[in-house]
Amino acid sequence: MTGRITVVGGGFAGVFAALAAVRAADGGADVTLVSREPRLVLRPRLYEPAPETLHSELAELLAKAGVGFVQGEAEALDLDGRRLRLADGRSLAWDRLVIATGSVMPRPPVPGAADAYSIDTQAEAVAFDARLAEIAGRPEPVVAVVGAGFTGVELALNLRDRLEAHGGPGERLRIVLLDQAAEVGPELGPGPRPAIEAALREARVELRLGASLSALGAEEVVFEGGERLTADAVALCTGLRAADFAGRAPGPRDGAGRLVVDAFLRAPDAPGVFVAGDAACATPDEGRTTLMSCQHALPLGRVAGENAARSLLGLELLPYAQRRYATCLDLGRSGAVLTDGWDRAVQALGSEAKAVKRQINTRLIYPPEGSREEILKASVPA
């Protein structure tokens, strides 16, 4: 009897989990990908211009690979009956399940936060870009970016070019970058910080660090104490949290709501369930846990899909390992900064690092192309 492997989530981890599962199963299982949309949104690129173009259609890829596709929203999980219920009432049976439902940006718990712009999803990025087009004709527009982490820094340092793409006065744009932390890029550590700070100075980005907010809106930031910053657009880049579906499976979670998995990416309290991408808190090295980034999502997906198939076929499972960890941060007109290792030792700056970032954004994060054999080969864990 052919088994059934269902992958929930059409992001980086989900797509590569499905490809790995169908390859490793080698005809011994039907593999199905469940996703809201039949496309992979290139979420790490949504700080760039033309966000409406930043996705990759999945239909041809999945069909060529032999992966079934069901468009829908996963809503509930029945572990005893091994069924997945969708929001429209449909129910799918599974023998092995991979949860790869990604992450969402939590908005600050202050009044008006729901009204601010964001680039967390493609639709939100398109709406923000439309706002930039609206304000492009103003002589001295103001954009406030709330959140000075990875995404906030990349967005702030690319705003002048984005406004100029709409014919606006990039050099006269006032950019304000805010964060409650005392330093920019707190999660990036001290290694790349000098390069980030130099790029922000060069781009004349105003920093408001250690900032506590009492209210937000699409065109206003209110600080605790009553000070107001009026802007033409306020964009939130306030971190990530595992999407709600990860909470449908029992088990311990980390502070970001991710399921804590074992060395083989199994959910310890949910037999038959594997977890990948931003839904998983894995430990590739002692004392280190995976980050919510495509660099971890891709290998997590490959290993989770591989192990779902191996588990179903009674084969030995592969432990997850992060062979190499690097960070490449886009610094806009200052190029980029490339770091290596968990301590993020700087390896390259400026145009050299920018070339690496361009390769990542335009080639490495895209789904594989070519023949079925070539596509499936790209799903082999490193």
Structure tokens at 97: 């399940």
Residue 339 to residue 22: CA distance in whole angstroms: 34
How much is the pLDDT for 88?
95
How much is the pLDDT for 71?
97
Q: Residue 1: is its pLDDT beyond 80?
A: no
Nearest to 101 by CA among 321, 347, 229, 273: 273
How much is the pLDDT for 369?
93
324 falls in which pLDDT band (50, 70, 90)?
confident
Q: Residue 285: is its pLDDT beyond 90?
A: no
What mean pLDDT, rounded, does the chain reach?
A: 95
The 10s digit of each residue's pLDDT in 133-162 is: 999 999 999 999 999 999 999 999 999 999
How much is the pLDDT for 253?
95
The 10s digit of each residue's pLDDT in 207-251 is: 999 999 999 999 999 999 999 999 999 999 999 999 999 999 999
How much is the pLDDT for 110?
96
Residue 236 burial by Cβ neighbours in a 10 Å radius (0-12, 13-18, 19+):
buried
Residue 8 to residue 345: CA distance in whole angstroms: 35
Residue 272 burial by Cβ neighbours in a 10 Å radius (0-12, 13-18, 19+):
middle
How much is the pLDDT for 286?
77
Domains and CATH numbers, the chain: 3-105+240-324 (3.50.50.60), 113-236 (3.50.50.60)
Residue 93 to residue 132: CA distance in whole angstroms: 45
Most confident of 189-193, 231-235, 285-289: 231-235
Residue 17 to residue 304: CA distance in whole angstroms: 6
185 falls in which pLDDT band (50, 70, 90)?
very high
Residue 262 to residue 258: CA distance in whole angstroms: 13
Across the range 21-38, mean pLDDT stands at 96
Q: Residue 323: is its pLDDT beyond 80?
A: no
The percent of residues above 70 in pLDDT, for the chain, comes to: 100
How much is the pLDDT for 358?
96
Query: pTM of the predicted model, to two decimals?
Result: 0.95
77 falls in which pLDDT band (50, 70, 90)?
very high
The 10s digit of each residue's pLDDT in 289-315 is: 999 998 899 999 999 999 999 999 999
Q: Residue 167: is its pLDDT beyond 60?
A: yes
Residue 129 to residue 123: CA distance in whole angstroms: 10
The 10s digit of each residue's pLDDT in 90-122 is: 999 999 999 999 999 999 999 999 999 999 999
